[in-house]
Amino acid sequence: MDYPASYSPSRLHHQAMRALTPELRFDGGDVAVWQRKLRRRLVRLLGDLPETRVALRPRRLWRREHPLGTIEKIVFTSERHVDVPAYVCLPAAAKPPYPFMIALQGHSTGMHNSIGVQFEDETQPKAVEGDRDFGIGCMRRGIAALCIEQRAFGERRERLQQAVSTHPCHDAAMHSLMLGRTLIGERVYDVDRAIDYLHTRDDVDRGRIGVMGNSGGGTISLFAAAVLPRLAFAMPSCYFCTFQASIMSIYHCADNYVPGLLKVAEMPDIMGLFAPRPVVIVAGREDPIFPLKGVRQGFRDLRRIYAACGAEQHCHLVVGAGGHRFYAEEAWPSMLKEIRTRPAAR
Ligand SMILES: [Zn+2]
């Protein structure tokens, strides 16, 4: 039987979306004034976060030599009741203080992919597809990496609650909403605390800390870049698009949603909060969930924001020939050039 289109919820949602002009879209005026306004709004929309920062209490779990350098596994406290495990990858080919990339996995078995080892036994190597071994990719290029486990992924997957969804983020994303939080806000907070952790180390070039990740790691790379002033570089992969063409038109996990956000801004505006700092947007020509047409459309808007800052040359888009994955060979040359032309500072 045929049912009327008006029975489908998306009928209204798509009409409403098309009729909407987000309140704080960049309008070509003073960029700095616009950024301050939108950033303040965005921070509010990302939900409640602790007012005071707890002690990080970093603990080292192990340290191992690797053909490309040294890898340490650590854990630090992000907020009360919340600990974050991470790998610190130090390249043999460079000397401290190192530029650092904070590397974020998306929906996968977790951060062990960043260093190419098994989940259960980190002494055993694992072949990682789609260039998602971010820590190894950094070390190979003389860059240090802090590969953190994101909330609800890998080692931080829900294990206390008895009945959970089969999808790793669903419960955490929904529960955070009921508490006036968002999972995006919570994950960005972990990145902020990861920067705090890097600032406790004496081998870190504090002026050259960046963020990168694919898919759900690209999401948090983008939002972290938008609100965290201590980040100098961003390389979000297979996430940047327009909300209209992707998040609002194609099935995505609940951890992608921020209540009311589309009334305020589109995705290029969120990324535009990072201008004039260098960004390398990575996309896949065949990515079915972040369609290239939307990526290019969003990128045109993003370029306009960078141009208004006189920083068009720091706004890069690289498109890989395949699907939803990272493209190291295509992406790194632009990022390395940006990192190397920015003077080292402690
Ligand atoms: Zn998810």
pLDDT digits (tens, 9 = 90+) for 77-131: 999 999 999 999 999 999 999 999 999 999 999 999 999 999 999 999 999 999 9
- Spacing of C-alpha 108 from chain mean position: 14
Domain housing 185: 25-341
Q: How many angstroms is it from 218 CA to the middle of ligand 1?
A: 12
Cα-based angle 160, 161, 162 (whole degrees, multiple of 5): 115
Q: At which residue do the structure tokens 């009928």 appear?
A: 11
Residues 6+ apart with CB under 8 A from 88: 71, 72, 73, 74, 144, 145, 146
The Å distance, Cα 308 to ligand 1 centre, comes to: 34
Residue 4 CA, ligand 1 centroid: distance in Å: 32
| Side-chain half-sphere exposure of 193, counting CA atoms within 13 A | 29
Question: Does 19 fall in a domain?
Answer: no
The CA 167 to ligand 1 mean position distance, Å, reads 7
> Distance, CA 216 to ligand 1 centroid (Å)?
7
Read off the pLDDT band of 345 (50, 70, 90). low
The burial of 301, by beta-carbon neighbours within 10 Å (0-12 exposed, 13-18 middle, 19 or more buried), is given as: middle
Q: Which two tokens stand for residue 308?
A: 């208004």
- What does DSSP assign to residue 129? S
pLDDT of residue 344: 75
Note whether residue 4 is domain-resident: no
The residue assigned the tokens 């960004």 is 279
Residue 178 lies in a domain: yes
**CB-based contacts of 134, cutoff 8 Å, min separation 6:** 101, 103, 105, 114, 145, 147, 212, 213, 326
CA 313 to ligand 1 centroid distance, Å: 33
Residues in CB range of 333: below 8 A, 6 or more apart: none
Q: How far is the CA of 27 from the centre of ligand 1 (A)?
A: 32
Cα(218)–Cα(104) distance, rounded to whole angstroms? 8
pLDDT above 70 as % of the chain: 99
The rounded distance, in Å, linking the Cα atoms of 149 and 110 is 6
Which residues 6+ apart lie within 8 Å of 195 measured at CB? 102, 209, 228, 230, 231
Mean pLDDT of 259-280: 98
252 Cα to the center of ligand 1, angstroms: 8
CA of 205 to the centre of ligand 1 (A): 32
CA of 329 to the centre of ligand 1 (A): 27
How many domains, the chain? 1
**Exposed e or buried b per residue across 113-146, where buried means at least 16 C-beta atoms within 10 angstroms of its C-beta:** bbbbbeeeebeeeeebebbbbbbbbbbbbbbbbb
Residue 12 lies in a domain: no
How much distance in Å is there from the Cα of 138 to the middle of ligand 1?
Answer: 25
Instruction: From 6, 33, 104, 78, select the one nearest 273 (Cα to Cα).
Output: 33
pLDDT exceeds 90 at position 302 = yes
Confirm whether 40 is domain-assigned: yes
Distance 107 CA to ligand 1 centre (A): 6
User: Which residues, in sequence order, are bridge partners of residue 89?
Assistant: 71, 145
Going by C-alpha positions, the residue among 227, 75, 209, 96 that lies closest to residue 145 is 209
CA of 285 to the centre of ligand 1 (A): 23
Q: How is residue 316 written in tokens?
A: 């890069």
pLDDT in tens, 160-211: 998 888 888 999 999 999 999 999 999 999 999 999 999 999 999 999 999 9
Residue 182: per-residue pLDDT: 98
Query: How remote is the CA of residue 253 from the centroid of ligand 1, in Å?
Result: 5
Between the CA of 337 and the centroid of ligand 1 the distance, in Å, is 32
Q: What is the average pLDDT across 334-344?
A: 93
**DSSP letters for 260-323:** THHHH--HHHHHHTTTTS-EEEEEETT-SSS-HHHHHHHHHHHHHHHHHTT-GGGEEEEEESSS
Q: Is residue 211 part of a domain?
A: yes
Query: Which pLDDT does position 278 carry in this prediction?
Result: 98
Report CA(312)–ligand 1 centroid distance (Å): 32
CA of 215 to the centre of ligand 1 (A): 10
For the chain, strand residue ranges (E) read 59-66, 69-79, 82-91, 98-104, 144-148, 204-214, 233-237, 279-284, 315-320
Instruction: Provide the residue type at 295 as one letter.
Output: V
What is the Å distance from ligand 1's center to 33 Cα?
A: 33
8-66 pLDDT, tens digit each: 999 999 999 999 999 999 999 999 999 999 999 999 999 999 999 999 999 999 999 99
The CA 250 to ligand 1 mean position distance, Å, reads 14
Mean pLDDT of the chain: 97
% of residues, the chain, pLDDT over 90: 96
**Residue 217 alpha carbon to ligand 1 centre in Å:** 10
The Å distance, Cα 169 to ligand 1 centre, comes to 4
Question: Is residue 15 in some structural domain?
Answer: no
> For residue 181, what are the CA distances in angstroms to 168, 193, 216?
18, 17, 18
Q: In CATH, what number is assigned to the domain containing residue 127?
A: 3.40.50.1820
What residues pair up with 145 in beta bridges, in sequence order?
89, 101
Burial environment of residue 178 by CB neighbours within 10 A (0 to 12, 13 to 18, 19 or more): exposed
Ligand 1 centroid – CA 184 distance (Å) = 10
- CA 305 to each of CA 58, 63, 212, 223, 302: distance values in angstroms, whole numbers, following the listed order: 38, 43, 21, 16, 5
